Amino acid sequence: MRTLVLLLLFTLNLLAQPIRVDHANVELISEVKSIVPGQSFWVAFKVDHDEHWHTYWRNAGDAGIPTKIKWDVPAGFKAGNIQWPFPERIMLADVANFGFENELVLPVEISPPSDLIIRTNVTLNASATWLICKEECLPGEAELSLSLPVSNEILFNEKWVDKFTATREKLPLKNHDWKTSLDELTRSTISIRVQSFTQSNSNLGEIWFYPYQPGFIKNSSDQLIEQTENGFLISIGLEDFIVEQPDTLSGILVSENGWRGENTERAIEITVPISNVEQGISNTEGEGFSIWLALLFAFLGGMILNLMPCVLPVLSIKILGFVQQSGEDKSKIVQHGVLFTVGVVASFLILAGLLLILRAGGEQLGWGFQLQSPLFLIILSVLLLLFALSLFGVFEIGTSAGNIGGKIENRGGNIGAIMSGVAATVLATPCTAPFMGSALGFAITQPVFVTLSVFAFLALGMAFPYLLLSIFPQWLRFIPKPGNWMNTLKQFMGFLLLATIIWLAWVLGIQAGSDAITGLMGALLLAGLAAWIYGKWGSVLNKTGTRITASVTAISLVIASVTAANSFIPEEPLSNTTIKKSNSTLPWEKFSQEKVDKLVAEGEKVFIDFTAAWCLSCQVNEKVVLNTQEVVNKFAELNVVPLKADWTSRDPEITKALAKFGRNSVPLYVLYDSEGNVTKLPEILTPGIVLDALEKL
Amino acid sequence: MKKIFSFVSMLLTLASLTSLFAADKAEIDKPAPNFTLTDSNGNEHSLSDFEGKYVVLEWINFDCPFVKKHYDGDNMQMLQKKYTEKDVVWLAICSSAEGKQGYFDNDEINKRIADHNAAMTGYLIDESGEVGKMYAAKTTPHMYIIDMEGVLVYAGGIDDRKSTSIADIKGATNYVSQALDELLAEKEVSVKVSSPYGCSVKYKN
């Protein structure tokens, strides 16, 4: 009889067909086929938009209004707020809206009272209102209802479970350890500093901030993303007419590819206090300092270039040339010095420009010139080694430096002065190339403006002594005489480049693990061998045949070294984690309160993972943190018993346990020490967090 | 890095500023940019013609449900009558591009004005969208008030109930009549900006 009643009720329920409204079908759906007294469950307002039609998010953007649901539920029932999945931007000419096209599921949690009678039937009524637009708009409304039988167990509705799961993946993650702060607020823009997960995905794709409040952020504004050391800066234009500057700016950040790699959370909720501007200012200064420092170093580096064997002789000759050429006319000499500087700066900027064009081309081809790319790190390290070896004299780059002084033409006139600046730059290349190459390597990872500035300052630094000496030609006598000391200095500079490789190796180790470092070492060895071969048999002193063979061998070796090292990089770049992915898993045991009580009473250390198949963060945490070799080893080492509380089908025992820890949602991670003291871990785990917590037991 | 970032945003701001020199931009408490448009009877009107008078700008699209709410509910016409009688100039501006919703020929416009018994001073046609963009008009309706010195003193919604339901007109705070009453009483406008609501303005793509 009972079965018959239930069957009848199910049938009634299944009869609830979508309602056809203007340009959409709407329907009230439930994740469950039966409900249990006192246990909350999820229903949703489902909208199937006709093609190109859309309804709106909680902040509709420039136009439109958000969808609203008014509930009429039996006494004792509580209906929660709509849980909004992240929207998409819908641009109509200059007007930017936030909304949804195609299929939309807006979930709402329903909490029934605990005194429901089994085998009765409850009806939930909802009246929904919305605005549906393509170009033109139509208001819509519908009265919807849903009947569900009360039972002593929750039965999931296979028809809709997947829809709910898919929608949960689009809900913004609210509990996380991201830090956000105001960086700068001007009349027309706001910059927010975001410190993201320690394990962030290096390929986030497009990032977009959707504000909750209307009337502050300009919805149609471009959003500039600037990578920082441990996150990024996002800069957004403000509304033309600001209604009111809020105390806090909240909203969601959406990443195109998932914040922790593919198939991970795409939306994350952030709140930024924007009253505290002072903090933003101090940030600005701290960051600003480093760019000025970089430019200062570029300038100093440029000056040091003058001490290289192939540059210093040129310096005296050039200045003497100026002086002779202009006779005693001081202003003429200064003018020459300035024009020479212009020539040097211009040639450096042209070089930088070529580099930028190359970079733009590379980006189109999908090359990432980023320090995050292990391949790029390897190439850069190999180049640095080659440059260092060149400084050590293992081999020479380009023409011999011997007779450069004589090559600079002392052509008269202003053009002549500029050209001699260009010529000096070009002819000094054999000595400057190693440094220029290194500077190029780093500058290529920087924004256009930084690249250009660094090069300009390098050039200014190089031209500075010329300029100074053209103003004070009498200072020429203070210039050290060229001599063997310059070769010593050159060789010493080689060690600076080698030191840089250590740093790159460290970065590579963090990204790709110790195997990759071994690969890098091998690559460096091969590259060193290549340099030696080229130096020994590839120079002008050898026969043409020998030289060609040596050059080909050297180049092949360098290419082979990089290729070989690259094969040591794990297939899936680990972004910034230090943990290698492995198939190891913790020896999970099934959770029961009884088991926990027993283990704790026995003085065992216990870890409980409250999880669910539909909880995206739970899955990601398990995959990239809990089931990693390091964590698994630590569990074994410390004898921690891992228990898994799988709440996929809302087990009442787990619900109760969650409530005990003041929670009604997953993920939740709880650790008991041998005295039975409890530590709760954050919802977004990193290997560091887990290992630290285990250490403290 | 921050410095570069602000430099870039500064460049962007500069770039947008230069584009604004061509077409001025409306700002609260600043002189409202002038414009000249033709009304539905073929007469030209410039904002500067109305110096010494309060001017209301109403972005309009007769087929938008939010505009319908205020016309079918007799709210907009009532305001137009009430304030034009007090020598306020009321200009409805339609920035719908040709072929888009809300764009009509003059006969149709005048028929609709008559049907609704509307009482705007003029219904101006801005099919290029230039004036709409100058005032950053986003929705229909989107309301602006310019004082006797030609200064923009209000920009935003018509009221604070964002809906298409006529029932919501009663009980809403009407920002436009509030601001006009304050101006006519020689008081400072208390709410100068509010967030507009409505359909998107159907600009040319």
Candidates A113, A114, A46, A112; CA nearest to A82 is A46
**A181 close to A23: Cβ distance less than 8 angstroms:** no
3-state secondary structure A100-135: ECCEEEEEEEEECCCCCCCCCEEEEEEEEEEEEECC
Q: Is residue B150 pLDDT above 70, yes or no?
A: yes
Q: With respect to residue B142, please indicate whether it lies within any of the assigned structural domains.
A: yes
Q: How far apart are CA A288 and CA A444, in angstroms?
A: 20
Q: How far apart are CA A349 and CA A436, in angstroms?
A: 12
Phi, psi angles (nearest 5°) of residue A109: -90, 135
Using the Cβ of B65 and the Cβ atoms of chain A, whether some distance falls under 8 Å is answered with: yes
Contact: A188, B136; criterion CB under 8 Å: no
Q: How far apart are CA A105 and CA A127, in angstroms?
A: 16
> Residue A297: what pLDDT?
77
Nearest by CB to B194, from A139, A184, A243: name it: A243
Angle between helix axes A484-537 and A374-392 (nearest 10 degrees) is 110
Candidates A493, A512, A355, A376; CA nearest to A435 is A493
Q: Which residue has the higher pLDDT, B129 or A656?
A: B129
A383-392, A501-510, B68-77: which has the minimum mean pLDDT? A501-510
pLDDT tens per residue, range A257-283: 888 777 788 899 999 888 644 333 333
Kindly identify which residue of chain A lies nearest to residue B130, measuring between CA atoms.
A94
Q: With respect to residue B6, please indicate whether it lies within any of the assigned structural domains.
A: no
**B113 close to B40: Cβ distance less than 8 angstroms:** yes
Question: Distance, in angstroms, between A241 CA and closest chain B CA?
Answer: 7
Q: With respect to residue B14, please indicate whether it lies within any of the assigned structural domains.
A: no
> Residue A313: what pLDDT?
61
State mean pLDDT over B137-155: 94
Kindly identify which residue of chain A lies nearest to residue B64, measuring between CA atoms.
A137
Q: In which band, very low, low, confident or very high, does the pLDDT at B2 lie, cut at 50, 70 and 90?
A: very low
Q: In which band, very low, low, confident or very high, does the pLDDT at A312 lie, cut at 50, 70 and 90?
A: low
A398-402, A490-494, A681-685: which has the minimum mean pLDDT? A398-402
| Dihedral over Cα of A147, A151, A155, A161: its sign | positive
Kindly identify which residue of chain A lies nearest to residue B28, measuring between CA atoms.
A241
| Domain of B110, in residue numbers | 24-200
Q: What is the mean pLDDT of chain A?
A: 79
Residues of A in contact with B59 (CB under 8 A): none
Phi, psi angles (nearest 5°) of residue A237: -70, 150
Give the percent of chain A with pLDDT over 90: 22
> Residue A574: what pLDDT?
43
Q: Which residue has the higher pLDDT, A291 or A231?
A: A231
Q: Which residue has the higher pLDDT, A24 or A259?
A: A24
Contact: B138, A95; criterion CB under 8 Å: yes
Contact: A188, B199; criterion CB under 8 Å: no
Q: In which band, very low, low, confident or very high, does the pLDDT at A304 lie, cut at 50, 70 and 90?
A: confident
State mean pLDDT over A560-580: 61
State mean pLDDT over A324-333: 66
Q: Which residue has the higher pLDDT, B19 or A42?
A: A42
**B25 close to B59: Cβ distance less than 8 angstroms:** no
Q: How far apart are CA A408 and CA A427, in angstroms?
A: 8
Q: Which residue has the higher pLDDT, A544 or B92?
A: B92
Q: With respect to residue B78, please indicate whether it lies within any of the assigned structural domains.
A: yes
Q: With respect to residue B39, please indicate whether it lies within any of the assigned structural domains.
A: yes
Q: Is residue A505 pLDDT above 90, yes or no?
A: no
| Beta-carbon contacts of residue A324 (< 8 Å; ≥ 6 apart) | none
Give the number of other CB atoms < 10 A from CB of residue A637. 9
C-alpha A632: how far from chain center: 27
Q: What is the mean pLDDT of chain B?
A: 87
Tell me which H or E stretch contains B43: none
In angstroms, what CA-CA distances link A213 with A176, A239, B195?
21, 12, 10
Looking at the DSSP assignment, which residues form a beta bridge with residue A259? A261
| Dihedral over Cα of A52, A57, A63, A65: its sign | positive
Tally the domains of chain B. 1
3-state secondary structure of A381: helix
A127-141, A316-330, A368-382, A464-478: which has the minimum mean pLDDT? A316-330
pLDDT tens per residue, range A419-443: 767 766 765 655 566 666 666 666 6
Q: In which band, very low, low, confident or very high, does the pLDDT at A618 lie, cut at 50, 70 and 90?
A: confident
Q: With respect to residue B145, please indicate whether it lies within any of the assigned structural domains.
A: yes
> Residue B77: what pLDDT?
95
> Residue A576: what pLDDT?
36
> Residue A277: what pLDDT?
42
State mean pLDDT over A82-92: 92
**A243 close to B156: Cβ distance less than 8 angstroms:** yes
> Residue A365: what pLDDT?
47
> Residue B142: what pLDDT?
96
> Residue A504: what pLDDT?
76
Query: Where do the domains of chain A lie, and which CATH numbers do they carry?
Result: 2-168 (2.60.40.1250), 179-275 (2.60.40), 287-566 (no CATH), 589-695 (3.40.30.10)
Q: How far apart are CA B41 and CA A205, in angstroms?
A: 52
**B132 close to B203: Cβ distance less than 8 angstroms:** yes
Give the percent of chain B with pLDDT over 70: 88
CATH number reported for the structural domain that contains residue B118 in this entry: 3.40.30.10
Using the Cβ of A225 and the Cβ atoms of chain B, whether some distance falls under 8 Å is answered with: no
Q: With respect to residue B151, please indicate whether it lies within any of the assigned structural domains.
A: yes
Type of residue at A581: K
Q: In which band, very low, low, confident or very high, does the pLDDT at B20 lie, cut at 50, 70 and 90?
A: very low
pLDDT tens per residue, range A88-125: 999 887 788 999 999 999 999 999 998 999 889 999 99
Using the Cβ of B164 and the Cβ atoms of chain A, whether some distance falls under 8 Å is answered with: yes
**What ipTM does this complex have?**
0.74
Q: Is residue A409 pLDDT above 60, yes or no?
A: no
**B123 close to B39: Cβ distance less than 8 angstroms:** yes
Half-sphere exposure of A501 (CA within 13 A, CB side): 22
Question: Distance, in angstroms, between B118 CA and closest chain A CA?
Answer: 23
Q: Is residue A467 pLDDT above 90, yes or no?
A: no
* Beta strands at B122-125 and A668-672: parallel, antiparallel or unpaired: unpaired
| Dihedral over Cα of A400, A405, A408, A409: its sign | negative
- Block residue for tokens 């999945």: A85
- Block residue for tokens 């081809």: A365
- A vs B, Cβ pairs < 8 A, gives 121
> Residue A561: what pLDDT?
84
State mean pLDDT over A621-629: 83
Q: Which residue has the higher pLDDT, B33 or A483?
A: B33
Give the percent of chain A with pLDDT over 70: 78
Q: Is residue A679 pLDDT above 80, yes or no?
A: yes
Residues 89-148 of B with CB under 8 A from A: 100-101, 129, 133, 136, 138-139
The three-point CA angle A599-A605-A608 to 5° equals: 80
Q: With respect to residue B3, please indicate whether it lies within any of the assigned structural domains.
A: no
Q: Is residue A132 pLDDT above 60, yes or no?
A: yes
Nearest by CB to B203, from A93, A136, A183: name it: A93
Q: In which band, very low, low, confident or very high, does the pLDDT at B37 lie, cut at 50, 70 and 90?
A: very high
Tell me which H or E stretch contains A524: helix A484-537
Q: Which residue has the higher pLDDT, A408 or B50?
A: B50
> Residue A534: what pLDDT?
86
> Residue A198: what pLDDT?
53
In angstroms, what CA-CA distances link A363 with A356, A366, A452, A511, B25?
10, 5, 18, 21, 37
3-state secondary structure of B186: coil
Q: Is residue A22 pLDDT above 70, yes or no?
A: yes
> Residue A265: what pLDDT?
84
| Beta-carbon contacts of residue A282 (< 8 Å; ≥ 6 apart) | none
pLDDT tens per residue, range A342-393: 888 888 888 778 777 776 665 544 444 455 567 777 887 888 888 888 878 8
| Beta-carbon contacts of residue A62 (< 8 Å; ≥ 6 apart) | A95, A96, A97, A219, A220, B138, B139, B200
Give the percent of chain B with pLDDT over 90: 78
pTM of this prediction? Answer: 0.57
> Residue A5: what pLDDT?
53
Residues 175-214 of A with CB under 8 A from B: 183-184, 186, 188-189, 191, 214
